[in-house]
Amino acid sequence: MTMDKIAALKRSKLFESLEDSTLRMLAQRAVERTFRKDEVLFVAGEEARGLYVIVEGAVRAYRVSLDGREQVIHVERAGATIAELPVFDDGTYPSTAAAEEDTTVLFIDKQDVRRLCLEHPQIPLAALKVLAARLRRCAELVEALSLREVGQRLARFLVAEAHRNGTRADNGTWMNLTQTNQQIAARIGSVREVVSRAFTRLQHEGLIVVDGRHLLIPDEAALEAFADQR
């Protein structure tokens, strides 16, 4: 089972560059934990004790308004890490995190990571890449929330999901929507009903063809154009 941990760590962006001997040591210190769908890993503002490497499943980091609406900041999947920030700046957890599906993670104490950073300068460099990517996405999200309408945000979301998920066919790109309208709403900054309407509008415009939770994008470029333009 430590074998599994080593393999999991090796698949992560942060630790992939380490030699096996170092990984073994790290794996021994890492604690495996599992979370059911929607179980909370940590809450924004809590004292942060370490970071999480996702072995399997997916985790969303989000904020909640007083009336209970969620806004997802980012979603991370197997191989990614969450709660790296406190390791480097000693702050609290920046967002609440919950399992987006049944999930297995490795918890690593932040002191262990820091020690490793000093001995292995590749880790800070890898971490910089991770944070840089996340910052780019976060800026995209800000732009979308402030300057684009819900329909465009949905279109962009679908294009991204298609890249991650979809299979190319000769009549376009097919994909399964794994999330509910509720979940999509929390991602793009809206509510269930409005997402539902945005779906029907995209369908009327011929930009997507919906069949239950199975969906076809006949012309990805057109959908992207809709997302960017107007």
Partner DNA sequence: GATGCCGAGTGACATAAGTCATTGTCGTAT
Partner DNA sequence: ATACGACAATGACTTATGTCACTCGGCATC
Task: State which of residues 50, 57, 94, 151 lies at the interface with a copy of itself (CB under 8 A).
Answer: 94
Name the residue nearer to a copy of itself (CB basis): 59 or 175: 59
CA gap 23, 59 in Å, rounded: 23
CA gap 80, 9 in Å, rounded: 10
Task: State which of residues 34, 38, 39, 63 lies at the interface with a copy of itself (CB under 8 A).
Answer: 63
Residues numbered 187 to 216 that lie near a copy of itself (CB under 8 A) are 189
How many residues of this chain interact with a copy of itself, rule: CB under 8 A?
A: 40
- Quick note: the x/- pattern for DNA over 199-218, rule CB under 7 A, is xx---------x-xx-----
- The verdict on 31 binding a copy of itself (CB under 8 A) reads no
- The verdict on 182 binding DNA (CB under 7 A) reads yes
Any idea which residue has 């460099």 for tokens?
A: 125
| Cβ contact 216:174 at 8 Å | yes
Cβ of residue 123: shortest distance to a copy of itself, in angstroms?
9
- Quick note: the x/- pattern for DNA over 37-76, rule CB under 7 A, is ------------------------------x-x-------
Name the residue nearer to a copy of itself (CB basis): 88 or 174: 88
Q: Kindly give the residue spans of alpha helices, DSSP state H, lying in the chain.
A: 2-10, 20-29, 85-89, 110-119, 122-147, 150-165, 181-188, 192-204, 220-228
CA gap 85, 90 in Å, rounded: 8
Name the burial class of residue 175, with classes exposed (0-12), middle (13-18) and buried (19+) by CB atoms within 10 angstroms of its CB: buried
